Structure 1
Amino acid sequence: MTAVAVTIAGSDSGGGAGIQADLKTFSALGVYGASVITALTAQNTLGVQGIHDVPPAFVEQQIDSVFSDISVDAVKIGMLSQPAIIEAVAEGLKRHHATQVVLDPVMVAASGDRLLAPEAIDALRHTLLPRALIVTPNLPEAAALLDEPMASDERAMLRQAERILRLGPRTVLVKGGHGSGAESIDILLDSQGMHRFTAPRIETRNTHGTGCTLSSAIAAGLAKGLPLTEAVAAAKSFISAAIGASGQLQIGRGHGPVHHFHAHWS
């Protein structure tokens, strides 16, 4: 059987994040990718110039079209900017009994532009987090979900992961890319305990789409049948290599994309 993952997220006209990054990641990792577009963005490496939300009813229609015909193995959820869209996605997941759900709580682009309306954070907490197999906030997103300051060390990351776990997801991955130090450290927590993933921190401006890429790589691993912890480890290796190879691309004048096809392009 062909491994299939679907991304439910916003489109990035610059190609480095969102739906485009997710589909590139699925393809690079040998997974067939389907998509449900929740928003169109006018976006490049310098920032987000505009957002056009897709009507919630049409988001639901896309979900029904994909799930009624294609056997979906895993779901990645990204940018959901409005409460009504979050509700539509939650209802669609419930209707089609989706269980392998990777939720990336996208709130702010690498450029610093806000992608999630403030009133949508509460809907995200209470409507979608309980449906997630794993939620993958970075340090600012974890802080926003909990309405508290950003974690400054591993102990604080673990405390925040514990609080997010109480909101209903089965697993939490707090990502340390926004931290400091020689290593980028991620904390994975579920009811069984904690796992720690590390990689050398890479100094680069090419960070556009890193969160989207990591979460879609986790979904790809799940689609191929990997246990969750192995899918996270494989995804961490993939995003580290993609960041490390990003200098091979010369795209835009701002925060450039990672190199999704670093293992395939000569």
Structure 2
Amino acid sequence: MRESPRTRRLRTDLKALESLKADSSILDFSVPGPMFGGPPEVYLIRFNGRGLQRHHGADVTIRDQHELTIQLGASYPRMMPELHWKSPIFHPNISASGAVCLGGYGTHWVPSVNLDELCEMLWEMVRYRNFDVDSPYNREAALWAKTQTQFRFPVDDRPIRDRVASRAAAADSQAGAAPRIMVDAGRPAKNESPTVPSPIHVLPARRTDSPVPVNPYTRPHSPALPPASNDADDGIYILDDASDDEVVDAEIVVAEQTDILFLN
């Protein structure tokens, strides 16, 4: 008999939760009721880690085990699962009666969120890595969280997949730090690919015979230079002013590195 999409989803959630349990020393779960030959619809979730509790106005203290039930109703996964917190907890987004607020997921549930991902969200809440004091379910806890200096958040540093993180850290420790290789400048290390140099942009050489800067106040149409005379013994040319205006107080300016005199 072909299974319905919901039944297939329930089986997928069970496998995901079993995989999470194998990767975590924090999470454990059980099925409190009969399964009737199909995947479970109700789970009892346990978190073995540090959270906070407060009894009847007493001091806030650490609690090391937390329990809640997750019920996958008939409208799941289109609708959010029903959550009920069973153990004492002091958190801005979990009420004293056990109601749990998941923020935007409460009003806009995303069906693609699997059960293992939901449990990860809940663990982040337990250890105070995720909390919202602006829209609280427990106003007293929200006011306390704003001003408290007793605890450093998160109160538990472990991610929910702590076994995966531990294995990765152990592998890095066994491998050790990579040996440092001293390399001569400009020479690649052994077994190291040579570095391809960046392309060099060659600028044109600066001219040493730079022309004299143009005076912005000279006329745009200057007369052409007269041809060189054989009897010119000093190699000096004088520019004749083509206008009829009299040149008063003419000043001779010697252009650098040229044999031309300008009359200003």
Name the TM-score, length of structure 1 as normaliser.
0.23
Name the TM-score, length of structure 2 as normaliser.
0.23
- Which has more strand, going by share of residues? 1
- Which has more helix, going by share of residues? 1
